[in-house]
Structure 1
Amino acid sequence: MQHFIDAAPGIRLWAEEHGPTDAPPLLLIMGAQSSGRGWPDELVRMLARRHRVIRYDHRDTGRSTWSFDERPYPITALAEDAVAVLDGLDVRRAHVAGMSLGGMLAQLLVTDHPGRLLSATLMGTCALSTAPYVHPDGPRTPAEELPGVAPHVLEMWARPAEDLGLEAELERRVEHWRALSGELLPFDAEYARDLERRIIEHTGHHIAGTAHARADDSGMIRTDELAKTDVPTLVISAPAEPVFPPPHPQHLAQVIRGARLVEIPGMGHALPRPVLGPLASAILEHTSEARRPNS
């Protein structure tokens, strides 16, 4: 079932639900410049066996309002959009799962709206914390000195956005997924191309968005709040991750009170078919075990 939700003045968000309407809600939050259709249908179906799964388009993606050039907004507004989706669908409390920027937004929900969450799952992201990473053998690494984005990914991100036509844009996106997937699993170019072709059809055009890369990202640190949270949190560790490589997941699990860490073999900064089953199993185990007062 599809919906359009008024999230803010002049901002309408597209959302879609799968699964039983009386099942525990699970809100999926995608990364920067990514439509909610970036969550593969196969993964959504797996999760919908036990959940009312909700995926949605951030503003300036997919079928949601594209408005940044006329009305710039901070990244924190995207977290409030997620709350607006819950409100628009009459969801009082939900499990959330966020990937990349979506994992940061999920952390903002954990700290700023804990009463709306049943649990959180974070993947492909970094901690919104200035606390150092403590290595297993004792040394500490300041958060700002943890490994950065792989050079080959940074090089792709630095290229200017150009409209060279649909097929050229499809090829660019496929190569982007190749770079993000890491080197531990064979890359399936046709799978990536099919995913992006369906996203373009959903959006109605192939123009690449840049709003989230230009949005103000200040005011997102939540060191103390993450250390005190009661929201059950699962951190997914991806050994082939080129954007937030290890030990970023380990750092996340340290700075979020009570967080649990699960590694998905071969996973990078993408959702190829081989990781979907293990990822769904990890999320479903976490959501089934999450217990909070009055849940």
Structure 2
Amino acid sequence: MARAQANGLELEYGTFGDPAAPPLVLVMGLGAQMITWEDDFCAMLADRGFFVVRYDNRDVGLSTYLDDLPAPDLGALFAGDLSTAPYRLSDLADDAVGLFDALGIARAHVVGASMGGMIVQQLAIDHPDRLLSVTSIMSTTGDPAVGQAEPWALAVLTRPPATTREQALADSVEGYRRLGSPGYPDDEAFLLAKATMHFDRARHPVGTLRHAAAVMASGDRTSGLHDVRLPALVVHGDADPLINVSGGKATAAAIPGAELLVIPGMGHNLPRAVWPELAEAIGRVTGQ
């Protein structure tokens, strides 16, 4: 792992593959660390001929925490007052461009999951000259009419942070299990090992709140996506309880010429069994 100066922040990042190969930058979601892009998946993409870069967004993992900023008032945001959101998705997109600059990347393929999908959509709108292609996974456009969570799934995501390590691990395992893929269930031992690795690396609940505020305050990207002229892939599971598949369908409809891949049985995660299909689809959109 390494750290790069980007957009006035320090971003923790890691790489796989040949630095001379076409760059492919992986962007993770709300409160999720870069290691959510599992090593074996990154290696699979590198084996296809990419220089793979994954990184921690601001306010998560080992990147800069913006704790000098106030915690957002989510109630006010729900009521339509956006003034307490300390930053927007456009700022997170600018962070990615800052990472490109720090690594000497002129243009990159980008792949984003969940909030990361929203960030790469914003990248395609704000910085199309820096992109080669865009892949949005289990994400949505920001249109409130699509991509809505099941109420129970939203409750899983928004419960108060645990106050002990034991409870934090238990909550993570429950969240992985309930939000994950019913067609590709993981065993409890794997989920506990994953929760432990993430907890021991870093934990920053208030940063997750600021991520949520950024999503809520950034509005609908549909009209901006209509102007995107990049090769695009949209991937979604038909069993996603956190961002309904209608969000993926709306994203694909908004981007001219985008390919839509709906994966049966996939929820709000990236199960190992779908990696080959996902890597093949990324290969199609990138021409790699």
Identify whether the pair has TM-score above 0.5, normalized to the shorter chain: yes
Q: Deviations over 1:167-197 (max 9, x none)?
A: 3212211111112114222233222322232
Encode CA deviations 1:201-223: one digit per residue, 9 max, x unaligned: 333xx453433124474344333
The equivalent residue for 1:208 is 205
In 2 relative to 1, CA 207–110 (structure 1 residues): closer, same or farther, beyond 3 Å?
Answer: closer
Query: Structure 1 residue runs of 4+, over 4 Å off?
Result: none
Shift of 1:163: 1.8
Cα distance 1:147–1:115, how it changes in 2: closer, same or farther (>3 A)? closer
**Which amino acid in 1 is paired with 2:112?**
G
- 1:97 and 1:106 in contact (8 A); partners too: yes
Q: Which one-letter code corresponds to 1:230 in the other structure? A: R
Does the CA-based 8 Å contact 2:139-2:248 persist in structure 1? Answer: yes
Select the residue among 88, 92, 104 that pairs with 1:78. 92
Q: Secondary structure at the match of 2:287?
A: helix
The aligned counterpart of 1:170 is 169
Q: Distance in 1 between matches of 2:255 and 2:235?
A: 13
Indicate the SS of the match to 2:10.
Answer: strand
> 1:30 corresponds to which letter in structure 2?
M
- Between structures 1 and 2, the one with greater helix share: 2
**C-alpha displacement at 1:279, in angstroms?**
1.5
CA distance in 2, matches of 1:285, 1:180: 28
Please tell me the root mean square deviation across aligned C-alpha atoms, in Å.
2.0
Tell me if structure 2 keeps the 8 A contact 1:40–1:271.
no
CA spacing shift, 1:175–1:69, aligned 2, 3 Å? farther
Q: Say which SS state the counterpart of residue 162 (structure 2) adopts.
A: coil
* Aligned-residue identity in percent: 36
Ranges in structure 1 where 5+ consecutive residues have no aligned partner: 129-142, 290-295
Gaps of 5+ in 2: 71-85
Change (3 A) 1:264 1:174: same
Q: 1:61 to 1:158 in 2, by over 3 A?
A: closer
Which of 101, 107, 110 in structure 2 is aligned with 1:93?
Answer: 107
Structural mapping, 1:38-187, within 5 Å? 38-49=36-47, 50-70=49-69, 72-128=86-142, 143-146=143-146, 148-165=148-165, 167-187=166-186
Note the C-alpha offset of 1:69. Answer: 4.5
Letter of the structure 2 residue corresponding to residue 238 of structure 1: G
Q: Label 1:147 to 1:18 Cα distance change in 2 as closer, same or farther (>3 A).
A: closer
**TM-score, structure 1 length as denominator?**
0.85
- Cα displacement (A) at 1:155: 1.7
Q: For 1:45 and 1:220, locate their aligned partners in 2 and report how far apart those are by CA, in whole Å.
A: 35
CA distance 1:115–1:208, shift in 2 (3 Å): same
Alpha carbons 2:14, 2:55 under 8 Å: kept: yes
Q: Which residue identity does 2:157 align to in structure 1?
A: W
Q: Number of residues paired by the alignment?
A: 270
Q: Report the Cα distance in structure 1 between the residues aligned to 2:219 and 2:101, rounded to whole angstroms.
A: 22
| Partner SS, residue 48 of structure 1 | helix
